[in-house]
Amino acid sequence: MREECRYVYLDLGSNKGVQIRKLFEPALYPGAKIIPYFNELFGNVEDRRKYTCAFGFEANPRHFTRLKYIENAYRRKGFRVTFYNNAVWNEQNKNVTIYSETKFDLDWGAGVLDVAIKDKEAMARYQVPTVDIVQFINEEIKPLKPKAVFVKMDIEGSEYTVLPHMIENKVLCKNIVTSIVVEMHKWAKNRMKSDLDIKTLRQRMMTQKCAPTDIVPFDDETYKSDVKVDPAA
């Protein structure tokens, strides 16, 4: 399977799997801002169904039954999709506490901080193993020698730990990660003791002494609740 991974989409914070569905079934998501970028980077939908490998990480275990359903349905169609129930972090196999909304239908975000959870008494807590995303890229993505790698990062505050780790290890170089779109969660900034924003991210990427990864200047959060079409249809 992996010898055909000419392109890689790395979805950090998959939630319900909508972004990966947009990648492989764009016709279901008219107007989604990310689709023209997928076309530009990975080619038309027929090509990327053949040659793009998608890897998704989601910390919230309540989403994982659905994500594995999407994975299995897409693999039967020949789409190369793998989901992992890990929290994206700067260490490997460390158990961290993940906080999430109690009402599952509203559970669009889960992370290592409880700041965004309003109902503290009823919030859900899970112990989830971490993945060192630098290690994953070095060991799993780089050996594929893809022509392009696109990373979407929406990890509910952990970006303030993970992005410096990627820069320190010279991963945010264009020859490794072609492009990245990052959602910076300002409500987490003080708690994570960070001064990072998109401007300082660009500046610090220059310290890697390589052509820096392109930062995509928008975040596509359309179709949060997904569409009703079954991935297996």
Residue pLDDT tens, the chain, 233 long: 455 899 999 999 999 999 999 999 999 999 999 999 999 999 999 999 999 999 999 999 989 999 999 999 999 999 999 999 999 999 999 998 888 876 655 455 666 666 666 677 777 888 999 999 999 999 999 999 999 999 999 998 899 999 999 999 999 999 999 999 999 989 888 888 999 999 999 999 999 999 999 999 888 989 988 999 999 99
Closest C-alpha among 156, 175, 148, 157 to residue 42:
148
> CB–CB of 151/166 below 8 Å?
no
Q: What angle do CA 10, 39, 157 make, to 5 degrees?
A: 30
Q: Which domains does the chain have, with CATH numbers?
A: 2-89+130-215 (3.40.50)
**Helices (H), ranges, the chain:** 18-24, 35-42, 45-51, 64-76, 133-136, 159-168, 186-189, 198-205
Whole-model pTM? 0.93
Distance between CA atoms of residues 28 and 41, nearest Å: 20
> CB–CB of 162/180 below 8 Å?
no
Which pair of tokens denotes residue 178? 């072609």
